[in-house]
Amino acid sequence: MEEISSRYRLVLSTCGDTNTAQTIAQQLVESKLAACVNILPGITSVYAWQGKIESDKEILLLIKTRTECLPEVQKMIRRLHSYELPEIIDVPITGGLTEYLNWITQSVEK
């Protein structure tokens, strides 16, 4: 496993419907801003919004990308997302299988 210093990121974003999730995933990969997007349906989110506690079924996107692509990834998610305030959280990938990380590098063009 390669030790790396934050050259790669895992971006988390939730969507309220399958069409939005699929559109965002497709556009990110087609635009070479993400190597892969996992679409995980069936999650339940409990959160505070505008003074109330809400609970909704959502779809989680796990987006694998390179650090230098984060501004463009955020911009695309915001443009395609149906939420007023979409969740966009990025987590540094600090290690992983060298061949997989190389694949991310080759798949994501900056």
Domain extent for 55? 2-107
Do 14 and 57 form a contact (C-beta atoms < 8 A)? no
**18, pLDDT greater than 90:** yes
Task: Compute the distance between CA of residue 18 and CA of residue 30 in angstroms, rounded to an integer.
Answer: 18
User: What does pTM read for this prediction?
Assistant: 0.92
How far apart, in Å, do the first and last CA atoms of the chain sit?
Answer: 24
Owner of token pair 């339940």:
44
Task: Compute the distance between CA of residue 48 and CA of residue 46 in angstroms, rounded to an integer.
Answer: 7
SS3 88: coil
**Using 50, 70 and 90 to split pLDDT, how confident is the model at 4?**
low
Q: What is the pLDDT of residue 72?
A: 97
Number of structural domains, the chain? 1
CATH number of the domain bearing residue 102: 3.30.70.120
Q: Please give the residue that has the higher pLDDT: either 1 or 10.
A: 10
Provide mean pLDDT across the span 45-74: 96
